Structure 1
Amino acid sequence: MDKMKVTYEAMLGLAAEFVLDDAVLKFQTNQIYTAIDKALAAGDEDTFYRLAKQLNALRK
């Protein structure tokens, strides 16, 4: 019974990590999209390209 409990807790922890990783990725992606919108509105080409590069790196 204890072995089953340990396995269950490990799986639960792994699932929690996946949920947290996904939430962080979505947050970072949204932050970059917001910054890209601001860079485009300001006509800041350098910032746009830097942020687009960051966004592409997150997607990999």
Structure 2
Amino acid sequence: MENNLLNAPQPVNVMDSLFAEMVLDKALLDFRKDQILKEIDQTLQVRDKGKFLRLIEELKIIS
């Protein structure tokens, strides 16, 4: 019986869940911004104006 109690679901703290979600969202956003900045550097090297403008717009939206 004691073994079953150890495997019982634990109550979820809503604040902890929200905080974890916020941290994950921030990490994903930062990762995407870094990706966009690297892509912008590449587009500048190859002089791809269309892709550059699209990436700049995407960066504005997520910033």
TM (norm. structure 1) is: 0.83
Letter in 2 for 1:42: V
What is the percentage of aligned positions where both structures have the same residue?
38
Q: Which runs of 5+ in 2 are unaligned?
A: 1-10
- Superposed, 1:38-57 pairs within 5 Å as 38-57=42-61
Deviations 1:4-40 (A, max 9, x none): xx5x710000000110010000000000000000000
Q: Are 1:25 and 2:29 an aligned pair?
A: yes
Q: Which runs of 5+ in 1 are unaligned?
A: 1-5
Moved over 3 A (4+): none
CA distance in 1, matches of 2:54, 2:61: 11
Aligned residue number for residue 11 of structure 1: 15
CA distance in 2, matches of 1:41, 1:47: 12
- Computing the radius of gyration from Cα coordinates, the structure with the larger value is 2
TM (norm. structure 2) is: 0.80
Decide which structure has greater helix share. Answer: 1
CA distance in 1, matches of 2:18, 2:54: 33
